[in-house]
Amino acid sequence: MPRFVLHADLDCFFASVEMRDNPELKGKPVIIGADPKGGEGRGVISTCSYEAREYGLHSAMPISKAYKLCPHGIYLRVDGKKYSKVSDEVMEILESFADKFQKVSVDEAYLDVSESCINFDEVKQLAYTIKEEIKRCLGITCSIGGSNSKSIAKIASDQNKPDGICIVKPNDIKEFLSPMKITRIPGIGKKTKNPYYKQGIRNIGDLYDFPLYKMMNLFGKHSKWVWKVINGLDKRKVKEGHKGRKSISKERTFYKDTNNQQQIVSTIEKLNIILHKKLIQKNIAYRTITLKIRFENFRTYTRSYSLDYPICDQNKALEIIVDLYEEFSKMFKKVRLIGVKFSNFERTPKILQTNLMMFVNC
């Protein structure tokens, strides 16, 4: 089965949230970080808007230097609590589109979409849908890269920033990477680049002249990883982490808006099966079931049902979700998207026992 991996990374994350919450800031150099104190401040920039980057500002730059380069910038403090909440909301959306999902930082994640897509055209379409959903629900933008490996997807997400998509098919990897500086390869940094620089190698394209044994001989053991990346052979899996998660959801945007009840219910059924596979695997029981529905006019509704006791029961859940859906089925509007969410978790090795108790109590 071909492998499709996406890497999503929010654009100037902290600054984007501030610009969303105060539209007057849009289009201006916005800098999030320490107080510049008129150029005397200590501390550094956390991030800054793309307008501020035009003045040479970037993350980790001393705030005093930033102030010299851009004294008329808008300097704001970090509001960690707010960004953390937005990050959770973004991750929930991203995860709902993934077959396997791995959050890697506050604003980036990998999505394995090998089961959802059959070719790279579908991968690209999915990337558009995800971006549209994040923009629509949260008012911020992200950039998405896609390929057959995590490392190439990550390099690709950086390629068309901000608000960009870049999908690299396996046969195009060499052409895509060749003009780039070797420091674009994850793992080659300020120090690790030195042995390559000593040999006069600056661009990834120069590396394609070396067979693996020669690379390892000249640049050390680490270059085996570099060789794998540039040849599209990074096989690292998208690692799912379920610890501490508050909900699990999945949604599908129909390729064409539809009022075909059979198609809608069968999609609900598929989402329910996929989610229960994960829930059972991780021994998670839930109390709340939510249906999300978006109509052709983009109006979006959610309806939830909460149980008195935690369950992990695919058939019971399906019955509840279809009941929730029936309320909307009389609206005679075409459906654009449908989603299912389970929350209010109880993590217990005793799910089976819990369900058994239900039988005993009946």
- Residues labelled catalytic: 108
CB of 141 to ligand TTP, least distance (A): 9
Residue 196 binding result from Mg ion, ligand TTP, none, given CB thresholds of 5 to 8 Å by partner type: none
CB of 278 to ligand TTP, least distance (A): 27
Q: Distance of CA 149 to CAs 157, 207, 228, Å?
A: 12, 19, 10
Q: Which is nearer to ligand TTP, 161 or 193 (CB)?
A: 161
Confirm or reject binding of residue 51 to ligand TTP (CB under 6 A): no
| β-bridge pairing 165-167 and 30-33 | unpaired
Enumerate residues 6+ apart whose C-beta is below 8 A from 69: 55, 56, 57
Which contiguous run of DSSP H or E holds residue 275?
helix 261-281
Q: Which is nearer to ligand TTP, 45 or 321 (CB)?
A: 45
**Residues 207 to 226: which contact ligand TTP by CB under 6 A?**
none
Confirm or reject binding of residue 18 to ligand TTP (CB under 6 A): no
How far, in Å, CA of 11 to CA of 327, rounded? 38
Enumerate residues 6+ apart whose C-beta is below 8 A from 58: 45, 48
How far, in Å, CA of 145 to CA of 38, rounded? 39
Phi, psi of 39 (to 5 degrees): 100, -10
Mask: binding to ligand TTP, 97-136, rule CB under 6 A, as x and -?
Answer: ---------xx-----------------------------
Between vectors from CA 264 to CA 330 and to CA 342, what angle results, nearest 5°? Answer: 100
Residue 47 binding result from Mg ion, ligand TTP, none, given CB thresholds of 5 to 8 Å by partner type: ligand TTP
Residue 161 binding result from ligand TTP, Mg ion, none, given CB thresholds of 5 to 8 Å by partner type: ligand TTP
Residue 176 binding result from ligand TTP, Mg ion, none, given CB thresholds of 5 to 8 Å by partner type: none
**Applying CB under 6 A, which of residues 11, 18, 95, 234 lies at the interface with ligand TTP?**
11
**Residues 5 to 24: which contact Mg ion by CB under 5 A?**
9-10, 13
Residues 257 and 336: beta-carbon distance below 8 Å: yes
Phi, psi of 122 (to 5 degrees): -70, -35
CB of 162 to Mg ion, least distance (A): 9
Between vectors from CA 136 to CA 161 and to CA 167, what angle results, nearest 5°? Answer: 35
Confirm or reject binding of residue 107 to Mg ion (CB under 5 A): yes
Residue numbers of the site for ligand TTP (CB under 6 A)?
9-14, 46-47, 59-60, 106-107, 161-162
Chain positions contacting Mg ion, by CB under 5 A: 9-10, 13, 107
